[in-house]
């Protein structure tokens, strides 16, 4: 059966039951869960909130750092009125590999923690009774998982994670789990693509459905007026005088899709989304044929206590703080975010660079530092057979899942297909990248620009795959990981020189990372590294350089907030490059960004 990716909703014909709350939870320290019958129900367990990461609730290291299988259990009552419907369990995000049993029967395995999946349970349900869901999760990383990493075995046999990336490898049921009850004759998927016309717009739609009935499509404006309609599984919805979705000035239309037979509505589904186009022309990124300049952040889904867990209250606060700064965009570094965050971005008119969890495709635990070290021989990631045969397929599947999930959001204006891959050390990356880039283009009917975030070693001279990018995204730390402190002026000369090379390529260039670590409250005159005022000086200098280069079409600072990482000598209880602390207090740099961004129009550098 097709993976039902549509966001679950209650309509005339559909019902959603949220299973969030306390679940039973157990570690599987000896890796014997299945042998002991955990899939039939947990006997020794503790309570665990879902959604959340399990790690930060524990006060002992062994549990917090746990790597391996964990088990979750929840029960639900199955109403007999669901008998002639389809009943699915939708897991919104499970880190990172999940196996699902219902009433002791194994039903599904999924390997991609940041993307939802649905499990149809029609054949195993006990109606009018209590049913049991058991999920086994595994958070071990290797060179085939997205993200990539390794682990180490300690003397006592425990495994600990050694990621090739810079964020804590949180685990758990990090996003909601919901029962979704849909009619047998139902809509499975919807794809929208928009075209601007002299009179307004035309939305081309395509609906897949199963079972009987005819498809009808209608569009309503925000006053509830019907502004377009059509019938058939695919067609055109023409709107006159369309109010377009604009940056920080979003207008959403209410699309209604129905499956009808005679006078009966067999199924009904709504999409609230904006109408806009996105293109690249020369070194400009155009939204509705007008150049836009990206101001904003690389972020993380990361907060106290819940770890990587879905937290709508934190997301809401983050949007308020981003608006306060004058930002208009963010990147979902380094994995697809919760759908509810995209829904907020859609309403708030934020430009989103939607990133896959393809991070750590460079064999190093300190990649930004190592890539800057010219003497280090970095082992090529893409030369490995396992990467050519297995990782690539996982990556392509992740592209399919991401495009299918996020294709209709107007806020999603660009795909980031990798963060800081090893794109310079060997030609082996070329066929791999070509497959990923081509598949993305083929699947996305809106043909959004594609890119990857370039680490410093991937410069105009050495990057082997930048030609595939529609926009160049740069992560740069001149003045921090290299030429920091007293060398800051020289760092800016080096930055300027590199940008002059990128300018020649004729594509839009965007900064997806630049920043410095600093501790709230630490200041000094003159500024030294790790102080708040060093971060301000560094940002001011970067901005002077950006303003001189015509091809720079965006600045996304690293990072919106301090976040948790693996511990180590370059991290002081996490990465401190936040413009806000982890509990969202502003550092000095927040005021500097607000000053700059409120004065830079969204169409800064329009021609």
Binding flag, residue 332, ligand GCB (CB under 6 A): no
Q: How far is the CB of 71 from ligand GCB (least distance, A)?
A: 30
Tell me, residue by residue from 164 to 203, as one string, x for binding to ligand GCB by CB under 6 A and - for no binding.
-xx-------------------------------------
Instruction: Compute the 3-state secondary structure of the chain and give helix, strand, coil in percent, each to the nearest 5.
Output: 20, 35, 45
Two structure tokens written together for 186:
């139902």
Q: What's 152-175 look like in SS3? A: EECCCCCEEEEECCCCCCCCEECC
Binding flag, residue 302, ligand GCB (CB under 6 A): no
- Our measurement of the distance from residue 596's CA atom to the centroid of its chain's CA atoms, rounded to an integer in Å, reads 27
Of 355, 420, 498, 555, catalytic: 420
Q: Which CB sits closer to ligand GCB, 288 or 364?
A: 364
CA triple 165-409-335, angle to 5 deg? 10
Interaction residues for ligand GCB, span 469-488 (CB under 6 A):
475
Binding flag, residue 562, ligand GCB (CB under 6 A): no
Cα–Cα distance measured from residue 163 to residue 167, given in angstroms and rounded to the nearest whole number = 8
- Helix, coil or strand: residue 382: coil
Q: Please identify which residue in the block is written with the tokens 């999924």.
A: 110
Binding flag, residue 301, ligand GCB (CB under 6 A): no
Bridge partners of 97, per DSSP, are 111, 138
Q: Are 157 and 164 in contact (CB under 8 A)?
A: no
User: Do the bridges between strand 278-281 and strand 284-287 make them parallel or antiparallel, or are there none, so unpaired?
Assistant: antiparallel
Q: How far is the CB of 588 from ligand GCB (least distance, A)?
A: 18
Contact residues for 528 (Cβ-Cβ < 8 A; gap 6+): 485, 534
Of the candidates 562, 561, 597, the residue with the CA atom closest to the CA atom of residue 329: 597
Of 513, 532, 555, 592, catalytic: 513
Q: Which CB sits closer to ligand GCB, 406 or 420?
A: 420
Residue 215: its H or E element: strand 214-220
Binding flag, residue 92, ligand GCB (CB under 6 A): no
Q: How far is the CB of 120 from ligand GCB (least distance, A)?
A: 37
Q: Give yes or no: 379 in active site.
A: no
Binding flag, residue 577, ligand GCB (CB under 6 A): yes
Q: In this structure, how many other beta carbons lie within 10 angstroms of the beta carbon of residue 573?
A: 11
Q: Give yes or no: 73 in active site.
A: no
Of the candidates 205, 93, 199, 71, the residue with the CA atom closest to the CA atom of residue 138: 71
Q: How far is the CB of 334 from ligand GCB (least distance, A)?
A: 6
Tell me, residue by residue from 421 to 450, as one string, x for binding to ligand GCB by CB under 6 A and - for no binding.
------------------------------
Binding flag, residue 39, ligand GCB (CB under 6 A): no
Which of 558, 560, 580, 597 touches ligand GCB (CB under 6 A)? Answer: 558
Which of 201, 419, 466, 602 touches ligand GCB (CB under 6 A)? Answer: 419
Contact residues for 250 (Cβ-Cβ < 8 A; gap 6+): 274, 346, 347, 348, 349, 410, 411
Binding flag, residue 458, ligand GCB (CB under 6 A): no
Q: How far is the CB of 369 from ligand GCB (least distance, A)?
A: 7
With CB under 6 A, what is the number of residues at the site for ligand GCB? 11
Which of 112, 575, 589, 605 touches ligand GCB (CB under 6 A)? Answer: 575
- Helix, coil or strand: residue 181: strand
Q: Are 188 and 209 in contact (CB under 8 A)?
A: yes
Binding flag, residue 420, ligand GCB (CB under 6 A): yes
Two structure tokens written together for 575:
């990465």
- What are the Cα distances from residue 362, in Å, to 246, 425, 518? 37, 10, 26
Cβ-closest position to ligand GCB: 166
Q: How far is the CB of 360 from ligand GCB (least distance, A)?
A: 9
Q: How far is the CB of 539 from ligand GCB (least distance, A)?
A: 14
Of the candidates 112, 134, 108, the residue with the CA atom closest to the CA atom of residue 25: 134
Q: Which CB sits closer to ligand GCB, 367 or 391?
A: 367
Q: Which CB sits closer to ligand GCB, 55 or 512?
A: 512
Q: Which CB sits closer to ligand GCB, 182 or 419?
A: 419
Binding flag, residue 576, ligand GCB (CB under 6 A): no
Q: Which CB sits closer to ligand GCB, 245 or 514?
A: 514
Catalytic residue list: 420, 513
Give the footprint of ligand GCB on this chain (CB under 6 A).
Answer: 165-166, 334, 368, 419-420, 475, 513, 558, 575, 577
């Amino acid at each position: 059966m097709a993976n039902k990716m549509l966001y679950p909703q209650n309509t005339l014909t559909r019902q959603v039951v949220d299973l969030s709350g306390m679940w039973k939870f157990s570690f599987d320290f000896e890796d014997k869960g299945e042998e002991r019958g955990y899939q039939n129900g947990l006997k020794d367990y503790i309570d665990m909130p879902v959604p959340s990461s399990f790690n930060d609730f524990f006060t002992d290291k062994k549990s917090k750092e746990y790597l391996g299988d964990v088990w979750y259990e929840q029960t639900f009552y199955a109403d007999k009125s669901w008998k002639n419907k389809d009943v699915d369990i939708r897991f919104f995000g499970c880190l990172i590999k999940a196996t699902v049993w219902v009433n002791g029967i194994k039903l599904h395995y999924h390997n991609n923690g940041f993307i939802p999946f649905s499990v149809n349970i029609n054949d195993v349900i006990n109606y009018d009774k209590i049913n049991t869901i058991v999920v086994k999760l595994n958070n071990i990383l290797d060179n085939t998982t997205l993200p990539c990493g390794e682990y180490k075995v300690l003397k006592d046999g425990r495994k600990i994670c050694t990621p090739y990336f810079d964020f804590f490898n949180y685990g758990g049921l990090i996003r909601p789990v919901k029962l979704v009850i849909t009619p047998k004759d139902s809509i499975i998927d919807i794809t929208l693509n928009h075209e601007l016309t002299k009179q307004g717009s035309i939305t081309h739609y395509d609906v897949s459905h199963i079972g009987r009935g005819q498809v009808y499509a209608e569009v309503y404006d925000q006053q509830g007026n019907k502004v377009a309609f059509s019938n058939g599984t695919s067609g055109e919805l023409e709107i006159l005088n369309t109010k377009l979705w604009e940056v920080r000035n979003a207008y959403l239309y209410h699309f209604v899709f129905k499956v009808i037979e005679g006078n009966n509505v067999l199924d009904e589904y709504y999409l609230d989304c904006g109408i806009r186009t996105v293109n690249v022309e020369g070194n400009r990124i155009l939204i509705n044929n007008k150049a836009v300049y990206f101001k904003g952040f690389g972020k993380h889904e990361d907060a106290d206590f819940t770890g990587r867990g879905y937290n709508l209250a934190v997301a809401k606060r983050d949007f308020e703080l981003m608006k306060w700064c004058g930002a208009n965009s963010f990147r979902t570094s380094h994995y697809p975010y919760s759908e509810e965050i995209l829904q907020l971005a859609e309403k708030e008119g934020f430009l989103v660079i939607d990133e896959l969890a393809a991070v750590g495709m460079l064999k190093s635990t300190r990649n930004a530092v190592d890539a800057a070290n010219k003497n280090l021989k970095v082992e090529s990631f893409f030369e490995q057979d396992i990467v050519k045969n297995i990782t690539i397929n996982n990556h392509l599947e992740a592209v399919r899942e991401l495009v299918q999930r996020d294709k209709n959001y107007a806020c999603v204006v660009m795909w980031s297909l990798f963060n800081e891959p090893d794109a310079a050390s060997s030609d082996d990356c070329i066929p791999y990248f070509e497959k990923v880039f081509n598949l993305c283009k083929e699947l996305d009917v809106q043909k959004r620009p594609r890119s990857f975030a370039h680490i410093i070693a991937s410069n105009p001279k050495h990057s082997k795959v930048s030609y595939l990018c529609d926009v160049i995204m740069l992560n740069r730390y001149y003045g921090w990981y290299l030429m920091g402190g007293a060398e800051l002026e020289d760092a800016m000369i080096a930055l300027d020189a590199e940008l002059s090379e990128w300018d020649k390529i004729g594509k839009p260039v965007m900064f997806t990372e630049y920043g410095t670590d600093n501790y709230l409250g630490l200041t000094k005159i003159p500024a030294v590294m790790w102080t708040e005022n060093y971060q301000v000086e560094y940002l001011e200098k970067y901005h002077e350089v950006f303003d001189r280069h015509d091809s720079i079409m965006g600045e996304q600072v690293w990072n919106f907030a301090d976040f948790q990482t693996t511990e180590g000598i370059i991290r002081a209880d996490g990465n401190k490059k936040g413009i806000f602390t982890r509990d969202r207090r502003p550092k000095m740099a927040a005021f500097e960004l607000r000053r700059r961004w409120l004065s830079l129009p969204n169409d800064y550098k329009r021609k």
